[in-house]
Homo-oligomer: A and B are copies of this chain.
């Protein structure tokens, strides 16, 4: 028997809690999203999903991505290119982004020290940290010359 991925379990739980249904469309969008790493726009996802089922509409992708955000499977990121992009969140290490201002490439990185200092600095100000986004803008290895 085939075992469900833990992401799918999270999804099913959320869907039940919210009294939503697991439809083939939602399932396909989730699978497609999980299958690809990186920073993907709604249009990216829409294009790939369409290869499996051309009857799926743009709107459904938008609506499903909202569900994935709400249940913690996706994270919205803004790479300053005019549209919201999504990346996996659940079961993935938290990380931040360095964005090259010349070529537009974005590099993921993680630094435990930064994370812990953020938490303690916020606590000192009475702020309870739930999430954060750090974007570092500059020039990547190839572009800095």
Chain A residues within CB distance 8 Å of chain B = 78, 98, 100-101, 107, 109, 111, 113-114, 117-118, 121-122, 125-141, 144
Check if A122 sits within 8 Å of B134, measured CB to CB.
no
Within 8 Å CB of A133, what residues of B? 133-135, 137
Check if B109 sits within 8 Å of A114, measured CB to CB.
no
A37 to chain B, nearest CB (A): 19
Indicate how many identical chains form the complex. Answer: 2
- Residue contacts A-B, CB under 8 angstroms, 11 given: A101-B130, A107-B127, A111-B118, A117-B117, A129-B137, A130-B137, A130-B138, A131-B137, A132-B134, A132-B136, A133-B134
Check if B137 sits within 8 Å of A125, measured CB to CB.
no
A101 to chain B, nearest CB (A): 6
Q: Which of B109, B128, B134, B144 contacts A138 (CB 8 A)?
A: B128
Check if B126 sits within 8 Å of A130, measured CB to CB.
no
Residue of B nearest to A139 (CB): B128
Within 8 Å CB of A129, what residues of B? 136-138
Check if A127 sits within 8 Å of B140, measured CB to CB.
yes
Q: Which of B118, B126, B144 contacts A114 (CB 8 A)?
A: B118
Contact A118 to B136, CB < 8 A, known contacts A107-B125, A109-B125, A125-B107: yes
Q: Which of B101, B118, B130, B138 contacts A122 (CB 8 A)?
A: B138
Check if B98 sits within 8 Å of A125, measured CB to CB.
yes
CA distance A144 to B127 in the complex (A): 8
